[in-house]
Structure 1
């Protein structure tokens, strides 16, 4: 039987650092929708709170290719949404 270790440290409302045996990641969001940024890439999880139902989407996975790739339209939109969410969380955290 393998041992698991996972610890979540809440930094601010909607912002947490996750520490596990396999590494460190950051989670942004709250109930219903969360974006997780870690060494395996960026994942977005949307769910229905209280039901146990959720869906996870890979937004970005680091590839083995070393050549720089052009961002797709979808990736640009996601990058902009992430930026707005982070700015909102930082502004919101200043009022607590």
Structure 2
């Protein structure tokens, strides 16, 4: 197992900044339906809040260059 961490700051209602091992991510939108922008691309998330069930759809993916994952 490797080292994992994540820290989230609420900047304003509906706007969150998350810092983790994979880099920063900005989330815009209410609980249950939001848009996430990170170094991997832009994704939309939708689902009932608090259930852990959601649908994630890639709107734009960054092309992988160099190292493999």
What TM-score results when the alignment is normalised by the length of structure 2? 0.84
Partner of 1:14: 14
CA distance in 2, matches of 1:51, 1:16: 20
Residue 2 of structure 1 is matched in structure 2 by 2
Cα root mean square deviation, aligned: 1.2
Residue-pair matches, total: 64
Write out the 4+ residue segments of structure 1 that deviate beyond 6 Å after TM superposition: none
Structure with the largest fraction of strand = 2
Q: 1:27 offset after TM fit, Å?
A: 0.3
Q: Which residue of 1 aligns with 2:51?
A: 51
Task: List alignment gaps of at least 5 residues for structure 1.
Answer: 65-96
Q: Which has the higher helix share?
A: 1
